Amino acid sequence: MKAAVYYENGGPEVLRYEDVADPTCGPRNVVIKVAAVSIEGGDTLNRFGGPLVTRPHIVGYQASGTVVQVGSEVTTHKLGDRVATVNGWGSHAELREVPARNAWAVPDGLDLAAASIIPVTFGTAHECLFDAGQLKAGDTVLVQAGASGVGIAAIQLAKAAGATVIATASSDDRLAKLKAYGLDHGINYKTHAVPAEVMRLTDNKGAAVVVDSVGGSTLQGSVDSLGYRGRLASVGAAGREPMKVDVGSLMGGNRTLRGVFLGAEIMTDRVHDMIAGLFTQAAAGSIKLVIDKTFPLSEAAAAHAYIESRAAVGRVLLIP
């Protein structure tokens, strides 16, 4: 099969389009013919500095497609099923093997390519808002990097839950595009101090919940934007800086800082079923799967470079 691979970590230019061996199918796994790869923020971070679990390494968490092989112990899937899959690596390829448990059925009528976005992107946003954040109707939520994949998902899910939604981005243009997904107030963090703006917008109450996928120096601004008993979900390091936060700044306001890692719980019934519910919502049209741009798999390097230019609002897909 063809795959986008790399032999060493680095910038988008390390990606090469090459022939590699087809995957085999373990007894509890399925192999899919990939229809679309949803490039995750974690894929660009792994390419930049993550472990090369295979060599050459095929990066990538998420891809949708059609089941072409079924492991001998698998009773839940059959040939031809339309699924969206998650695994630790291997999405950037024509074929991928995943545990059958990590292949969710894509409902009839839901576009298979768009469905590739759902499990990690929306599942993570849901965990941040409702498990770590305990969000309820009437709360105010701050979503850092609102134009990111996880950010757009969090904006939609929070709005649907009856929250007031504030989000940050690096330009007014990016913020303007988020209004269509439920954004109430945008903060351009290049021109405004985020905590001061959150306090202004909330009559000094602060946010009940903050979703922070940027980390680094942004994380302290997230703590400082929390209201009394506010909950902060630290879920990523898109800023590629060391995490820095003054833990003492949590104490006075009885604030909570919670780490979130979807991968640690994705095999549990709770998270598996939560993600299945997101497919139902997408099929019903109550959440929008936002695709910024698609590239052929052979142009994976250009797609990664485009993401790193920070022009994308929503997901960039690769099509084998």
As a whole number of angstroms, the distance between CA 145 and CA 152 comes to 9
Structure tokens at 9: 């970590």
Of positions 102, 124, 202, 222, contacts ligand NAP by CB under 6 A:
124
Of positions 110, 262, 271, 291, contacts ligand NAP by CB under 6 A:
262
Of positions 42, 119, 182, 230, contacts ligand NAP by CB under 6 A:
42
Applying CB under 6 A, does 45 fall inside the site for ligand NAP? yes
Stretch (H or E) spanning 45: helix 41-49
Instruction: Using DSSP, state whether 308 is helix, strand or coil.
Output: helix
Pick from 220, 226, 222, 179: which is nearest to 206 by CA?
A: 226
For residues 64 and 116, the answer to whether their CB atoms sit within 8 Å is yes
Q: Which CB atom, from 264 or from 284, has the smaller least distance to ligand NAP?
A: 264
Q: Which CB atom, from 45 or from 319, has the smaller least distance to ligand NAP?
A: 45
Read off φ and ψ for residue 157, nearest 5 degrees.
-70, -35
Place of tokens 């939604």: 165
Q: What angle do CA 50, 301, 316 make, to 5 degrees?
A: 90
How many other C-beta atoms are found inside a 10 Å radius of the C-beta of residue 231? 23
**Segment lying near ligand NAP (by CB under 6 A), choices 50-58, 236-244, 271-279, 296-304:** 236-244
Applying CB under 6 A, does 213 fall inside the site for ligand NAP? yes
Q: Which CB atom, from 121 or from 202, has the smaller least distance to ligand NAP?
A: 121
Of positions 145, 178, 245, 290, contacts ligand NAP by CB under 6 A:
145
Residue 281 CB, nearest approach to ligand NAP (Å): 18
CA of 252: how far to CAs of 50, 158, 199, 215, 258, in Å? 37, 26, 16, 22, 17
Of positions 192, 272, 293, 310, contacts ligand NAP by CB under 6 A:
310
Concatenate the DSSP letters of all residues of 139-192 into one string. Answer: -EEEETTTTSHHHHHHHHHHHHTT-EEEEEESSHHHHHHGGGGT-SEEEETTTS
CA neighbours within 13 Å on the CB side: how many for 19? 0
Q: Which CB atom, from 26 or from 263, has the smaller least distance to ligand NAP?
A: 263
Applying CB under 6 A, does 272 fall inside the site for ligand NAP? no
Applying CB under 6 A, does 225 fall inside the site for ligand NAP? no
As a whole number of angstroms, the distance between CA 163 and CA 178 comes to 15
Applying CB under 6 A, does 148 fall inside the site for ligand NAP? yes
Of positions 307, 317, 318, 320, contacts ligand NAP by CB under 6 A:
307
Q: Which CB atom, from 66 or from 171, has the smaller least distance to ligand NAP?
A: 171
- Residues between 240 and 259 with contacts to ligand NAP, criterion CB under 6 A: 240
Residue 7 CB, nearest approach to ligand NAP (Å): 22
For residues 194 and 168, the answer to whether their CB atoms sit within 8 Å is yes
Residue 126 CB, nearest approach to ligand NAP (Å): 11
Applying CB under 6 A, does 271 fall inside the site for ligand NAP? no
- Measured over the CA atoms of residue 206, residue 210, residue 214 and residue 220, the dihedral's sign is positive
- Residues between 171 and 210 with contacts to ligand NAP, criterion CB under 6 A: 174
Q: Which CB atom, from 42 or from 320, has the smaller least distance to ligand NAP?
A: 42
What's the Rg (C-alpha) of the chain? 19
Applying CB under 6 A, does 212 fall inside the site for ligand NAP? no
**Which residues in this chain contact ligand NAP in the complex, by CB under 6 A?**
40-42, 45, 120, 124, 145, 147-151, 169-170, 174, 213-214, 235-240, 260-263, 307, 310
